[in-house]
Structures are given as structure tokens and as C-alpha cells.
Amino acid sequence: MSKRLPRKRERNTYVLPNPHRKDSFMSPEETASRPKSECTELEITGGVCNLSASLFRMTNLTVLYLNDNQLHVLPGEISLLVNLAHLNVSHNKLRTLPPEIGDMTSLRELIAKNNYISTLPTELGKLFKLCKLDLTGNLLGGRIAEILNRSTYRTEDLLNYLIDHLPVPSSHPPARPWISMAQNADSPCLFTVMCYNILCDKYATRQMYGYCPNWALDWTYRKKHILSEIIHYKADIISLQEVETEQFYKYFLPELKKEGYDGIFSPKSRAKTMSEIDRKHVDGCAIFYKTQKFTLVREHLMEFNQLAMANAEGCDDMLNRVMTKDNIGLAALLQTKIGAYQNGVDPSQINQHILVCTAHIHWDPEYSDVKLIQTMMLMHELKFFVDDILQKSNIPLHQKADPNIIPLLLCGDFNSLPDSGVIEYLSSGRVQTDHCDFKEYVYKDCLSKLGNSAKANEFAHPFKISRAYEDGIMPFTNYSYDFKGVIDYVFYSKLHMSVLGVLGPIDSNWLEENGIHGCPHPHVPSDHFPIVVELQLNPTVPIQLSPPNGIVSLHR
């Protein structure tokens, strides 16, 4: 079965159990002989005062009726029923609900009316999938009673109140380990690069991240933690995705300039069609670099919807599926400065170039074809950009056709798993024209000029690049409730660079011990974790460009 990335969550799609159900009662012999997998609904009735521990081993249950009994306590072990979607504990003698109930994140309906409940655990607010919470006929007072008695009461109103008052674990995540990959081979030029999707404000909603308190989703809270994390790692080059236009110019750029950075930015293509007020909320990609180590020489924006239009060749699928997605890539040609080198550098090796690119590829798992085509267009445009650079350089004519002359650093949120066509294409340099990620759509003819391959049955790109993070180092770079996996990457030119080390994963024990089912979280400001790589740049012959120091923005 193919893996899927997260889709937007719908809160109210749960089908409630049939209120007119027909009850059937099994004898102990029938219960013992019936296959466990068949028992997904269970009713326990008859004045029961205590629940057997064997009940909590029935983890396949999705519906459980415990109503009309004599229960004084609902054991915390109820949380072991991880698949339970409907729980009815009405008409008992309960005075509260166990805090462990907050771990039952599959619950969609909780009926607890006509008990003696006077307090609720704030952990109940973690049940972000809950469609119905019935607490009528209890002894609740104060703020909770006020919310329940509103004429406009909604279940999510109470859940929001509870989760916003849920105590935050005092322990911050332990420092992520640094994993050494190789020793410095006496290269004078070392640098680090960070890739980070910061989750822009407009996407950080309760509908998407209902397990996170509102105050921890608020941008004024998250942006400080994001900036603190960026500054903490002190990367020489920073690649960011989902940066809102206004936040780049009014927050990140001014704040990072204080730390010795400068940067470039471009919003998604939709910004061109919006008013000035709306445009400032459009997110895009940014590249920051330490001015002590690098100079910006040229920059290049890649708009995938425009490239799709230019390459459609009358293909309806290209126009209807690819052109409608306005993701972008952004490239910066950087030149090393004396500050980038260790002592004893050969002066002839100063002023080397590095081509840095960041990209944010379309998210929807139903559009694997779009992801792959956007990535193909990205690499084709990088080839065009490099060709233009080399044509204006002083290198011999026979080398101007080789794009690998300039070291490439490719970073981004590719929204694609390691076994996808996107990562296969980037890593191996080719992908079959009939790859399953193209689905049933016919793109072969219109993509032919993006292929750069001598073989008719494949598309290829000319860059020799490798993944900085090997398989297994990071179990996930994106950690939300619905999806956990690797979708953020750093690729580097293996002819010119070597990986010395990478930042390891967040502590999985910390996530488990604190019951963190997804991020953002009060201690984790995005649903992505930043990845950081230390690289050494092998000496190459510096390229003289014309003009040598002018910053040129190239568009086509």
C-alpha cells in the first residue's frame, strides 16, 4: 500500500452509532470462543460496579457502552482502548473522568450524562477529534458550566478551553545529538546549512492542529521560538519555507541582520494577483547567509505555474493539474569571502562559488505527478541558471557545458518520502517516463524538453548530487498527528562537497513520555524539525564572472 502525506482534517465526518441498535447478549462460553477481531462493539450492563482488567485488553473495540451501571470510578486503563471512537458512560455514579482519557485521541463521541461529575481533567481537551461531548445532568460549575450553558455551545468550545488550560510539561526536549559522518580532510572552507519549514501563521489553525493549545499556535508565541531555534544552530546558510512576506521583511530579516545575516525572499506566485494588504500574508521561500562568509552574486526565481504554462504544449493535464499550483523555487549564487576560510588558506582558493537553492513542492498526496513535474522543472531551471552563469565566466569553452562546475546545495520541503519518484529522480539523476507517480496522466510529450536524457524511456537531470542525511538517521522531519515521515532534504554536489556531520533526531522518548502525538507543541514551534548539515567545500578553480560583483536577478 502506498504511503500518504496528510490531508486536511475534517472534524465532523464521523458517523455516529445507530441509536436504535439491536442488543445481543453472549454467554461466557460464546465470548471466549468468539474471535477477538470480530468484537468491535461491546455493551456491559446489569448494575456493574467494577470493570474487569480483561476489558482493557480488547484494543480492537471501537464502540463501548457502559451506561446504566453503578460505576463510581472509570479506571485510567480505559486509555488502552486506543481505537475506541464511541464511549457511553451515562447514568452511572462517576464524580470525574480520568486524565488518561486525554490519550484516547480516536474518540469521536463521549456520552457521560447523568452522573455526579463536578470536575473535568484538562487532559480532556486533547480529544481534538471529538464531535460530540454530552455532559448534561452533572454537577459541573464555574467556567465549564458557563460554556456548556451557552445557547451557541459547541463541543469544540469546551475542548479549546480545556486544552488552553492544560499544564505544559516542564521538561523541554533534550538537545538533539550531533552525528559525525566524516573527519575534516584539511579543507580550509567549512560551512553549515539549515533547512526548515517554519509553518506560517495562516496554516497553523485549530482545524489542522487541534491537539495544540491556541496560545501555542499563536504567531506571536511561535515566531520567537522559531527565531531562537534558528539562532541557536548558527548555520552559515539558512533555507526556510512557509515564510510569510510581511514576516520576512518586518521580522526575520531585521532580526537575523542583527546576527550577521542577509537574505533574499520570494512569495508564491499568487501574490502577483493580490492586493497589497493580502499580499503580505502570502508565504514563500527565503535564503539567509552570513555576510562574513558569503557575498550574494546572483539570484533566480522559479515559478512552477509559469513554467508549466510554458511547457504545456497543449497538454490538458499540465494546464489543469500542474499550472494551478503556484509553488516556487529560489536560487542564490553565493561567493565565499575570506571569513569563510580557516587560517592558512591558499589565496587562490578564495572567492569560490556555491549555488544555493530552496524549494517548497506541492503538498497533496493525490498529486504525486505534480510533485515530480515541479521537481523536474526545478532542476531544468537550475541548469538554465548555471548555463547562463558559465557563459559569462572565464572558464574554457569546453567546460561551459558542464553544470557541475559550480557546487550545488539544494534544500527544501519536497513533501515526498524517500521512496518517492521525486527523491529517486533527484538522487539518481533520472526517473522512468512510466513511473507510477505520474499516475495515468500523459505527460511524456510535453516533458520531453525537461528530460535531458539520451534514453527515450526516462527523464534525467545533469547534476551529480547526494542526500546529506542517509536513510535511518532521521525517522521523521515532519511530525503531525496524521503523518510522521521524512519530507525535508538537503542535497549537495558530491563532486565538490563532503558531509562532516548532521543534526540528529529529536528524542523519541521525550515525545512518548510527554504524550506528544503531533507538533506544533508549546516546546516545538513547527510541525517540521529543522535539519542541519556541516559540509566541507573542496578546493576548485574560482570562476570569474562578468560583472564580477554585481547582483543580478534573473527571471524568464
- What is the C-alpha separation between 239 and 288, in angstroms, rounded? 7
3-class secondary structure per residue, 355-387: EEEEEECCCCHHHHHHHHHHHHHHHHHHHHHHH
CB 531 within 8 A of CB 492: no
Active-site residue, selected from the candidate residues 413, 437, 488, 527: 413
Hunting for cell 532542476 — which residue is that?
379
Residue for grid cell 489542522: 208
3-state helix, strand, coil in the chain (%, to 5): 30, 20, 50
Beta bridge partners of 197: 241
Q: Which whole-number Å values give the CA distances from 328 to 62, 235, 370, 414, in the listed order?
A: 43, 23, 13, 11
101 closest CA partner among 72, 130, 58:
130
Q: How far apart are CA 43 and CA 22, in angstroms?
A: 11
Helix, strand, or coil (residue 494): coil
36 three-state secondary structure = helix
Amino acid letter for position 292: Q
Contact by Cβ (8 Å): 369, 443: yes
Note if 201 is an active site residue: no
Nearest-angstrom CA–CA distance, 42 and 60? 11
Asked if residue 420 lies in contact with residue 368, where contact means CB atoms within 8 angstroms, the answer is yes
Q: Which residues are catalytic?
A: 413
